[in-house]
Structure 1
């Protein structure tokens, strides 16, 4: 458990392990909250959770929110999921990965129900946050049960045509979506597959499809590349969207 002093409150970070019978492996995850528990919870599932803590400095962003808007920020509960090494991540987060479909089933049928029983609070918002491939898996998790989710926070989503087709097959969504991408991200080439992912182009296509399906979106293209410096600087905007957009 980690505690940091803040103007109004402290942060609690609890590291846990979840065994998946579907995937037959353990996953590390963290629960991050303020230590002043509220009856209602704004629950945010974060893929690439370890990176958001270490590279995105999510705790600092959370502390800033608590200092600016303590009453509402205390409702935040972060569930930060770590997928494993880079190959584990690709296999779980990419639709061509060996464990992609199983990971979606694991998150939807195993992980969420058990974690939310443990949280034991009234969940009034339920969102997903991810960067790059973590944004892609977040989109696909939401697509499994669209009515379950209120908010999607997508930073430089590494989506493919197949993932956009998944959205096209949905009847209608009421998601509130924060979607941001860098103007130079069509230049990014995957370090694992050596393929150009055309991230800017695909995000423009995804944005059009989400609008078509009824999502309410804040969409922005920024003078940025595909890197953590961008997502870290943009994180407060994404979290404020989750807190204040309804």
Structure 2
């Protein structure tokens, strides 16, 4: 191999028959170039998986990251969503939300850990998402706090039911949370034309989590609700994930 040749990871497609969703779901699993079944790896599960792969350019980022032989290795599971069903699955009051969360925790995770060399423990499992995908990530963790011990939230579009679910929780103090939002997200216009103050929602969530003793790495940047922002932020998010899931 020449000094300029880049080592690249592989992406495997995995089909999972979901009882909770009543259909077969396909996910994409990224394995570092030096992946070995003789080791165990933390796993980062990602909502809006296709968007993170394409618009987030995350495969390129991971390949670049793992050129450094000292970089902590982990697996990434990209979970695509049908855009026509995204709100139904990601919104905490969506018609398919409960089924999606149960698929995620009770079908997806066991399937990945049966096929790949993943640490079968909560502190080695993280979930990441942006916008409504971040909301779904947080609600999955809230419903399965023993199965997932890490969450990364990019510009979460949190709902009143999110805050209601968090009230009085005493089992989240050991969960590291990575949270970012853009200063230009105070007037985000949703698909139905509604103006949402994403910035205020994120500040409210941060305050509520910190009041419950949660370790939140929180930051605000001069950005809008766009993939340009989230893509730029990914190296910071991945650094945080590695620091909190290293074994």
When normalised by structure 1's length, the TM-score is 0.90
Alignment counterpart, residue 21 of structure 1, candidates 19, 32, 35:
19
Per-residue deviation, residues 80-115 of structure 1 (Å, max 9, x unmatched)? 100112x21111001232111111122122221222
How do 1:1-246 residues align onto structure 2 when only pairs under 5 Å count?
Answer: 9-38=7-36, 39-68=39-68, 70-73=69-72, 75-85=73-83, 87-123=84-120, 125-173=124-172, 174-191=174-191, 193-245=192-244
Tell me by how many angstroms 1:58 deviates. Answer: 0.4
Q: Which runs of 5+ in 1 are unaligned?
A: none
Q: 1:241 to 1:82 in 2, by over 3 A?
A: same
Tell me by how many angstroms 1:26 deviates. Answer: 2.2
When normalised by structure 2's length, the TM-score is 0.90
Tell me by how many angstroms 1:159 deviates. Answer: 0.5
How many residue pairs get matched?
Answer: 238
Q: 1:196 to 1:96 in 2, by over 3 A?
A: farther
Q: Which runs of 5+ in 2 are unaligned?
A: none
Aligned-partner Cα distance in 2 for 1:165–1:244: 30
| RMSD over equivalenced CA pairs, Å | 1.9
Tell me by how many angstroms 1:8 deviates. Answer: 6.8
Residues 31-40 or 225-234, more deviating: 31-40
